[in-house]
Chains A and B, each alone.
Chain A
Amino acid sequence: MEGAQTPAAAGGDGGRLLENVMYFARTLRAAGLPIGPGKVLAAVEALRAVGIESRSDFYWTLHAVFVNRRDQRELFDQAFHIFWRNPKLLERMLGMMLPEVVLPDQQKGEEMSRRLAEALKKPGEGEGDKPPEEEIELDAAMTFSEREVLRTMDFEKMSAAEIETAKTAIRRMTLPLADVRTRRFAPNPHGSRTDMRASFRAQLRSGGFMALKRKSQRRRPPPLVIICDISGSMSRYSRIFLHFMHAVTNDRDRVHTFLFGTRLTNITRFLRYRDIDIALDKVAGVVEDWSGGTRIGETLGEFNRHWSRRVLGQGAIVLLITDGLDRDAGIGIGAEMDRLHKSCRRLIWLNPLLRYEGFAPKSLGMRAILPHVDEFKPIHNLESLSELVAALSRPGPRRLEAAAAWRETG
């Protein structure tokens, strides 16, 4: 490694490379990668260590510093090739587009990076393809009687104002899942195990007899994964359920939310926005198959392949919200449901159609799902939602048993 070729020179007289790396980092940041000043310093340090004799080493050195997750690789790759082929390109672009505007240097930098960020966005990822959903905000404080009527009213039959009121009620819902034991311990005077360390320290402090301190296993709610159908037949419900999912996501950690119609979309990140309107706007921006057809088998297959290992890892409870009406007539659902059932702690199927008296799961899709669920519950009004909340807060019956009665009728 020769001194002239290393960016170490950048330290002294402020070489172009240092400046460019900083510039590049800012471009990446604008494109959405979490890159702070610390990373820029790390990148310069790394380049100093590796040297910049070859382009591929240069690439992978920056890659090792700037990329933190697998899905950032593509963005990095594109940005790298655009930026390092011709960093001037951006300036020229700016010059062409805004000839009359003269900006001070710093602002120019920011403006250009934003441009690049937009250029880097994959088609379909950008916002604006779809007009954001209209949300009518009504600040409706509920009276008691109103609430009583609304509790049993079907979501489908509610007026817009009633739906708003229901949404307010849902916003206050929490989902107290039955805790499961972890393998960690916490001090507990009635615990079943002896905490030797605490005992020793207490004895040394006080002297005399050793009073045994006790500990017990810590408990914690399991992760929750919600997979919700947003196809045409569910459209009336899915908006309401989004509110429910938003309330649950913001109430606790380890919640993952997916929507599916003809394809699967992970919306966990968007639902984390505290403000429901921002969250729903973001969701509307990424989901492309609102109120379309349903392909349950295929989307569940996609979930199993790409997500199940990542989100079902620590004994998750899965809520599957769908009416079981499938465009592909139930093809492939059985095998995928079986796989899903085997990968989670508990699989609960929520079906709004269950509200009808004498409902029998006759459609092919439903018949394919039913053998693989642990519980089968209605979800169509506020009451069934709160019943669900109650059911989830106590340990349920043995697996598969709660849905057994339905299997016989079906």
Chain B
Amino acid sequence: MSLPGSVSDTLDLLKRGNYIADRSLATAVYLALSLGRPLFLEGEAGVGKTEIAKVLAETLGRRLIRLQCYEGLDVTSAVYEWNYPRQMIEIRLAESGTEARDTLEEEIFTDRFLIKRPLLQALEPAIDGPPVLLIDELDRTDEPFEAYLLEVLSDFQITIPETGTIRAEHPPIVVITSNRTREIHDALKRRCFYYWIDYPTAARELEILRVKAPGAAAALSREVVAFVQKLRANHDLFKLPGVAETIDWAHALTQLDVLALTPEAINDTLGVLLKYQDDIAKIQGSEAERLLSQVKAELAASG
């Protein structure tokens, strides 16, 4: 698959991968694809940041390389590591032989002994085009790693002291996500196209449900979306439900053969939607009932 030629094409492309995006998001994606710069996505958990990379890889037919970030992520697990056991064996073999020692160093620091981690893999040439590199939850790493990424993302090259610099012939498609548990440094953001993914509008969310949970009855989907939108709008919840939760909830209700929301059904499945006990306690029972009756009344009024 070749890259999309316009914003509308990008929108279609995402749609083919079952991703319903706003045109604004498609613009940012299109820019990242056509200008070869990383796409930096921020937003609350469960709004579909990671999904974009997956969909892009799938619809463009590229390989997806994922680097999950965590505190203390370092070069040996993100970029490369030498295969020490093999090197050790090689040295032993060399010692038993008569080979000159100065050639040994050159030999054991070659590609053969290099274990490639995600970032290095992403720079390698691939048959079906440069891969999609997903750097997930960048905010979980620490600043030193962020600084390291700067070099990789601006020049798409990696320096290995023992062998030299590896440079990508065709830069990968890079998608970076962050949950904003801390602010990412401006120097890194500056090199990217930035987009904040918001919670979708009711209409958009309904569209997403239609694609992602086709098994759910139309009436149920409408109620589910309206209920979730109410939760997001009115309540001082510690963690608001994301789109992922909405989809999970629709699936769960469908599994339980629920055709229309009832207070009991909500109470039984609230754990799918809300992930903190305080939040569940706040909504469960009378509050859920009140919201549901509001939702039903509004839906009835709108036909």
Question: Which residue numbers of A lie inside 8 Å of B, CB to CB?
Answer: 1, 34, 38-39, 45-46, 49-51, 56-57, 59-61, 63-65, 67-70, 73, 182-185, 196-197, 200-201, 203-204, 207, 301, 304-305, 309-311, 313-314, 335, 338-339
Contacts and interface: CB of A to CB of B under 8 A. Distances in A.
Contact of B30 (A50, A67, A204): A50
10 contacts: A57-B27, A60-B28, A63-B27, A67-B194, A185-B74, A304-B238, A309-B180, A310-B181, A310-B182, A339-B278
B82 A305 contact: no
A201 to B, nearest CB: 8
A50 B186 CA distance: 24
- Please provide the 8 A-B residue pairs with the shortest distance between their CB atoms, ordered closest to farther: A183-B72, A313-B181, A60-B27, A64-B193, A60-B24, A196-B84, A64-B28, A68-B189
A65 B189 CA distance: 10
A245 B70 CA distance: 30
B142 A182 contact: yes
B278 A309 contact: no
B151 interface: no
B105 A204 contact: yes
Contacts of B72: 182-184
B179 A309 contact: yes
Most B-side CB within 10 Å, residue of A45, A183, A311: A183
Contacts of B30: 49-50
B86 to A, nearest CB: 11
A64 B194 contact: yes
B31 A64 contact: yes
Given A60-B27, A61-B31, A200-B82, A311 B190 contact: no
Contact of B35 (A39, A49, A185, A339): A49
Contacts of A313: 139-140, 181-182
A45 B238 contact: no
A317 to B, nearest CB: 15
A50 B181 contact: no
A70 B196 contact: yes
A50 B24 CA distance: 12
Interface string B271-292: 0000000100000000000000
A143 B35 CA distance: 65
A147 to B, nearest CB: 38
A56 B24 contact: yes
Contacts of A203: 91
B136 interface: no
B27 A339 contact: no
A159 B142 CA distance: 45
Interface residues of B, number: 43
Contacts, number: 102
B87 interface: yes
Given A63-B24, A64-B193, A67-B194, A51 B6 contact: yes
Contact of B71 (A46, A183, A185): A183
Given A49-B35, A200-B84, 17 more contacts: A38-B190, A49-B34, A50-B30, A51-B6, A56-B24, A57-B23, A60-B28, A61-B31, A64-B27, A67-B194, A183-B71, A185-B74, A196-B82, A310-B181, A310-B182, A313-B140, A313-B181
DSSP majority for the A interface?
helix
Given A1-B6, A311-B182, A70 B27 contact: no
B260 interface: no
A313 B137 CA distance: 12
A45 B108 CA distance: 45
Interface in B73-108: 74, 82, 84, 87, 91, 101, 104-105, 108
Contacts of A51: 6
Contacts of B35: 45-46, 49
A73 B162 CA distance: 45
B240 to A, nearest CB: 9
A141 to B, nearest CB: 38
Contacts of B193: 46, 64-65
B196 A57 contact: no
Contacts of A207: 101
A34 B186 contact: yes
A203 B142 CA distance: 32
B194 A57 contact: no
A200 B87 contact: yes
Nearest to B23: A56
B181 A309 contact: yes
Contacts of A1: 6
A201 B87 CA distance: 11
A335 B71 contact: no
A301 B6 contact: no
Contacts of A34: 186
Interface in B102-125: 104-105, 108
Interface string B31-42: 100110000001
Contacts of B195: 64
A338 B27 CA distance: 43
Contacts of A59: 24
Contacts of A185: 74
Contacts of B182: 310-311, 313-314
A212 to B, nearest CB: 12
A197 B82 contact: yes
Contacts of A182: 71-72, 142
B189 to A, nearest CB: 5
A407 B51 CA distance: 48
A378 B154 CA distance: 51
A61 B23 CA distance: 11
Contacts of A204: 104-105, 108
B74 A310 contact: no
A56 to B, nearest CB: 6
B7 interface: yes
Interface in B132-176: 139-140, 142, 144, 162
B236 interface: yes
A34 B70 CA distance: 28
A196 B85 CA distance: 10
Nearest to B76: A197
A305 B236 contact: yes
